[in-house]
Amino acid sequence: MATLLQSAKASLSEIIRRVTHEAGRPIKIQLFAYRDYDCGPQVLESSSLSGDANNLIAWLSRVEAMGGGSNDGEAIEFALGHIKTLGGFRSIIIAGDEPPNGQVFLASQGRAQSQTAQQLAARFGADKTPIHTFVVGDHGPTIIAFREIADASGGKSGRLDGSAAMIDMAVLAMLATLKGKQGVRDYVARTALTSNAAAFATLLLGDSSK
């Protein structure tokens, strides 16, 4: 998580600058840092909703990597449940190197009634709110679970390979919501993308005739 936080801090200002420029209007985003249930009340932290990169970076600078637990998962489902309760989001981006927790683990933690990340993703999909997932690293279960979350919500899943890819993939995901496929095409046409960012753009475009 520490590496991801550093990459996010290095990328956030440029992400907001590019999306604002490409969309032709200001945007507002909210950041969430999720951990696992062993972190207690710090399982989830959130920034304010803001379009000010400096404020968001200042918040990120106060977020610390912690926990990890003994299980192979993080509380992505908890974060998604909270975001669903808040409402009002047009799209969601998840980045991480571990999968969400499964139903068996949730039950072992006294959370048998909690919905899985995949189940919550389907609810977001029903509301036309895509979740785009960015995988850090090569962990097989994470790749599979992140693709399932994206598919269930109507989003796409890509692979991160550094700050350059994070910038382009985040911009592409936001433009897909704000300006549709034409916005994605325009950005791709004038941007030198990393291989992973280019692959993500191809997924967003799908049938490029539309």
54-100: pLDDT as tens digits: 999 999 999 987 755 667 799 999 999 999 999 999 999 999 999 99
Residue 108: partners with Cβ closer than 8 Å, 6 or more residues away: none
Domain boundaries defined on the chain: 2-203
Note the pLDDT tens digit of each residue in 16-60. 999 999 999 999 999 999 999 988 899 999 999 999 999 999 999
Neighbours of 70 (CB within 10 A): 6
Give the global pTM.
0.94
Q: What angle do CA 132, 149, 89 make, to 5 degrees?
A: 50
CATH class of 2-203: alpha beta
